[in-house]
């Protein structure tokens, strides 16, 4: 494997071997570079694969750097804007109020709890996300004729959802910041794995039957994933 960064901007990739059948490259929204490969593939073959994909790697890293430049961690100050279901809502800091964090066409944060603002926002987002995913999974599972076992939330940085063979579903709570149709796409995507476990053409046929705009939704997530954070 590469022991040094590919360039001054691109770090050396992290290699993860597993029982998978092919080599895959992953570039996270924070710039992390991961190579996933089967146990039986030689390192020389992995290096050659990375070299062949160098133009793609450069393209994705350029986009990632631009997105990181645009993203600014929240300061939790008066007038700051927060995403919820694809819309932005302003934050108001209140001196005298009951409760810690409220949402009433805007976010209202009790000034006394400013030190815990990030924790309070994540807790609020998680509660909203769980309720929404519960409703949308029930709706789409009925339409698709599938049954799942449970729904849980994830805080993973680079994964929006997962489906275990036993029917346990996990969704990234940050998705509650995205528009409803993007959330629906991820729900349909994971439920489709109960029919087809991999991403074969048969899998995408299952997705397409329920969610026609899956290509647009997938591209939206690629282009806007850096915004789904605070």
Tokens for 27, please give them: 């570039």
Q: How many CB atoms lie within 10 A of CB 27?
A: 19
Report the alpha-carbon distance of residue 215 to residue 166 in Å, rounded.
27
Residues in the chain, how many? 230
> What are the C-alpha distances in Å from 15 to residues 3, 41, 57, 63, 126?
11, 12, 15, 22, 32
196: tokens are 């087809």
CA distances from 103 to 28, 53, 141 (A): 31, 46, 30
What CA–CA distances, in Å, run from 155 to 70, 74, 125, 158?
Answer: 22, 18, 11, 9
pLDDT digits (tens, 9 = 90+) for 92-148: 999 988 899 999 999 999 999 999 999 999 999 999 999 999 999 999 999 999 999
Q: Which domains are seen in the chain, by residue range?
A: 14-70 (no CATH), 81-121 (no CATH), 126-227 (3.30.2010.10)
Q: Where are the beta strands (DSSP E) in 11-106?
A: 14-18, 24-27, 33-38, 81-84, 87-94, 101-103
Residue 14 has pLDDT above 90, yes or no: no
The per-residue pLDDT for range 38-68, each reduced to its tens digit, is 999 998 899 889 889 888 888 888 777 766 6
Q: Is the pLDDT of residue 72 over 80?
A: no
- Full-model pTM: 0.74
Among 119, 151, 129, smallest CA distance to 84 is for 129
**What pLDDT was estimated at residue 69?**
64
Q: Distance (Å, rounded) from C-alpha 214 to C-alpha 228?
A: 19
- The answer on pLDDT for 26 being more than 60 is yes
């Amino acid at each position: 494997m590469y022991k040094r960064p590919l360039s001054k901007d691109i770090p050396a990739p992290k290699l993860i071997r597993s029982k998978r059948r092919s080599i895959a490259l992953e570039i996270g929204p924070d710039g992390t570079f991961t190579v996933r490969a089967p146990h039986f593939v030689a390192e020389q073959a992995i290096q050659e694969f990375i070299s062949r994909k160098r133009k793609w790697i450069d393209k994705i890293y350029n986009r990632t750097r631009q997105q990181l430049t645009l993203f600014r961690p929240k300061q939790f100050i008066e007038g700051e804007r927060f995403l919820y279901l694809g819309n932005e809502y302003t934050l108001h800091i209140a001196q005298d109020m009951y409760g810690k964090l409220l949402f009433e066409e805007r976010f209202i944060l009790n000034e006394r709890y400013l030190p815990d603002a990030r924790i309070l926002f994540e807790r609020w987002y998680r509660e909203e996300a769980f309720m929404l995913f519960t409703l949308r999974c029930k709706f789409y599972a009925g339409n698709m004729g599938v049954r799942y076992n449970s729904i849980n939330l994830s805080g993973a940085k680079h994964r929006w959802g997962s489906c275990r063979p036993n029917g346990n579903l996990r969704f990234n709570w940050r998705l509650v910041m995205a528009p409803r149709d993007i959330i629906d796409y991820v729900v349909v995507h994971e439920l489709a794995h109960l029919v087809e476990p991999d991403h074969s053409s048969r899998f995408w046929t299952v997705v397409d039957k329920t969610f026609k705009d899956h290509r647009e939704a997938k591209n939206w997530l690629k282009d806007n994933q850096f915004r789904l954070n605070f």
